[in-house]
Amino acid sequence: MNRSTTKSLFLDALYQVLDNLGFRILLVLFLVPVALSFLIQFGEQEISFLWAWDVRYVDLIPDGLLRGSGGAPMPAGEAQLPPGFRDGLLQNIATLLIDSVADKFGLVFGIAAISFYVPQMLERGAADVVFSKPVSRAALFLSRYVAGLIFVGVLALVLVGGTSLGLAVSSQYFDAGLLWSIVTLVYGFAIFHAISCTIGVFTRNAIASILLTLVFMPVNCGLHAGWESIAAGDRQEADYYARNPEKSVPDADESPAYSMLRTGLTAYHVLAPKSRDATRMAKSWRKRFEATPEFRDADLGLDVLEPPPGFKREPRSSFEGEGLTWLAPHPEGSGEASWKLRSQDMEVIGSRSGMVKKLRKELSVDPVRGDISGRYTDRFEWVEDRGGEKRLRRRWVFQINSRILTLDYDAEATWARDVEQENNAQKFVASIRIEDALSQQMTGADYDAYFGWNEPWRFNAWFSILTTVGFIVFVLALGIGRLKRIDF
């Protein structure tokens, strides 16, 4: 094909999209959240509607769900939001918008809206006109396929790009990783659109193309989900015995039916398109743009999102040694203020309740029951004299699995009780996030936890892309081959 022919085919594909009623309906629907992203401002403490009506986040949260610096429930009007609350809220809104509206509703509606492209081209009378042009059947078929990619690409650009721009302008929030969702939405749509086009060639019926494609979508996802469950279980088991070399690996005792199921699912996973991986790739790209936590312990599911305000972490400090330490000089020249987070093995130091009883006896102070990220804690507070200086001491004691964690605060008493320092202390405690035990267990057995760009082939993103693209090429070639053999 020469350049003018290629340009004509592209313009033809573009005009088919612009003239499509389904495209216009989706465009209007997608412009609604884009408009709202410009009209609603998400501030650090409140939401502003049309810059005239302000509502505080804490007023939308029931009493008792927010915590004070001591960990006790507080009325919403007296508590402060945890750090990163606004950004987390906006991330959840964007994820819901893309995963539910664009990826699910938009994908299904898009398939239905453009499934008639190929069958309409093959209708009697229309085919005579179309194929009388000096263009190959393969080029005409691929132009219809490209029209579908333009369809979803423009809508994805409007929804994701427009919403990102709106949040950046009105709320000064920009998530660069979110833009990768445009690529992954087109990537996921390209799979099912190829199937729809080829079915359209074989059946010459738009309804059959829609129904068969929509049936394939959940079946394909279900079969891959079954294989992923098996693969994740195998990986989890292998990791367990790698961490515990003293334990012997039991002999495999699989029934013939299970072995056949495993083999069949593995073959299907290798050959079939992996549409579920598009979302995983988008998440992995988004993570590259997310702020790195101040500290993370993956085994405990523990994150310290940010350092205490005004404090710097001592680089030589160790979480399982003397404890991670953050230091800050006092403006008045008193001794340094410090935070220290330490993890110890329960088998070595005893139970959490035993430690609490020991501290109560040594300090002659009763602890206050609270929580850190949903974990029950015992919080001690006392004042001690040190070289003629009054020092405010606080200690939180809590447990994660078989580890006892202590969080210590040591600062000059008057300085520590200043309103600003009290707020800073509250923010730091709130920045400690702990994944609950059930979520940790589910994450450990989740395929997503192992999926990546440098993993073995079973969990490798590059393998997923290459085999999926290969499937798309094969399906399109099948459609082209069938189209060339049709006698009009």
Question: What per-residue confidence (pLDDT) applies to 169?
Answer: 92
Residue 377 bridge partners (DSSP): 370
Contacts of 70 (CB under 8 A, 6+ apart): 368, 370, 379, 381
Question: What per-residue confidence (pLDDT) applies to 76?
Answer: 45
Question: Do 354 and 277 fall into the same domain?
Answer: no
DSSP state of 68: -
Question: Do 477 and 347 fall into the same domain?
Answer: no
What CATH number does residue 412 fall under?
Answer: 3.40.1000.10
Question: What per-residue confidence (pLDDT) applies to 252?
Answer: 65
Question: Do 123 and 234 fall into the same domain?
Answer: yes
Q: Tell me whether residue 201 is in a domain.
A: yes
Question: Do 226 and 87 fall into the same domain?
Answer: yes
CA dihedral sign of residues 400, 325, 432, 422: positive
Lookup result for tokens 């993956």 = 298
Question: Do 388 and 412 fall into the same domain?
Answer: yes
Residue 327 bridge partners (DSSP): 312, 338
Q: Tell me whether residue 452 is in a domain.
A: no
For all residues of the chain together, what is the average pLDDT?
Answer: 84
Distance between CA atoms of residues 339 and 438, nearest Å: 29
Could you tell me if residue 101 is left (phi over 0), alpha (psi between -120 and 50 degrees) or otherwise beta? Answer: alpha
DSSP state of 294: S
**Cβ–Cβ < 8 Å for 410, 338:** yes
Question: What per-residue confidence (pLDDT) applies to 102?
Answer: 65
Q: Tell me whether residue 293 is in a domain.
A: no
**Cβ–Cβ < 8 Å for 483, 121:** no
Q: Tell me whether residue 307 is in a domain.
A: yes
Cα-flanking dihedrals φ and ψ of residue 64, to 5°?
A: 95, -15
Q: What share of the chain is helix, strand, coil (3-state, %, to 5)?
A: 55, 15, 25
Residue range(s) defining the domain that contains residue 200: 3-44+81-244+256-287+457-485
DSSP state of 486: -
**CA torsion 59→62→64→65, rounded to 10°?**
-90
Q: Tell me whether residue 441 is in a domain.
A: no
Residue of 32, 289, 60 whose CA lies nearest to 166: 32
Question: What per-residue confidence (pLDDT) applies to 319?
Answer: 92
Question: Do 147 and 275 fall into the same domain?
Answer: yes
Whole-prediction pTM = 0.74
Tell me the two tokens of residue 101: 């509206």
Q: Tell me whether residue 167 is in a domain.
A: yes
Render pLDDT for 56-83 as a digit per residue (tens, 0 to 9): 877 776 655 555 444 444 444 445 566 5
Please classify residue 28 by burial: count the beta carbons closer than 10 Å to its beta carbon, then call 0-12 exposed, 13-18 middle and 19+ buried.
exposed
Q: How crowded is the C-beta side of 114, counted as CA atoms within 13 Å?
A: 34
**Cβ–Cβ < 8 Å for 300, 438:** no
CA 365 to chain centre: 43
DSSP state of 232: H
Question: Do 265 and 389 fall into the same domain?
Answer: no
Regions in the chain scoring below 50 on pLDDT: 68-78, 125, 127-129, 442-444
**Cβ–Cβ < 8 Å for 424, 309:** yes
Lookup result for tokens 């081959």 = 481
Radius of gyration of the CA atoms of the chain, in A = 29
Residue of 165, 394, 412, 184 whose CA lies nearest to 278: 184
Distance between CA atoms of residues 33 and 159, nearest Å: 8
Question: Do 395 and 369 fall into the same domain?
Answer: yes
Residue of 410, 387, 386 whose CA lies nearest to 330: 410
Question: Do 14 and 89 fall into the same domain?
Answer: yes
Q: Tell me whether residue 418 is in a domain.
A: yes
Tell me the two tokens of residue 23: 């495209």
If one counts the domains in the chain, the total is 2
Question: Do 348 and 475 fall into the same domain?
Answer: no
Question: Do 143 and 197 fall into the same domain?
Answer: yes
Question: Do 120 and 168 fall into the same domain?
Answer: yes
Q: Tell me whether residue 50 is in a domain.
A: no
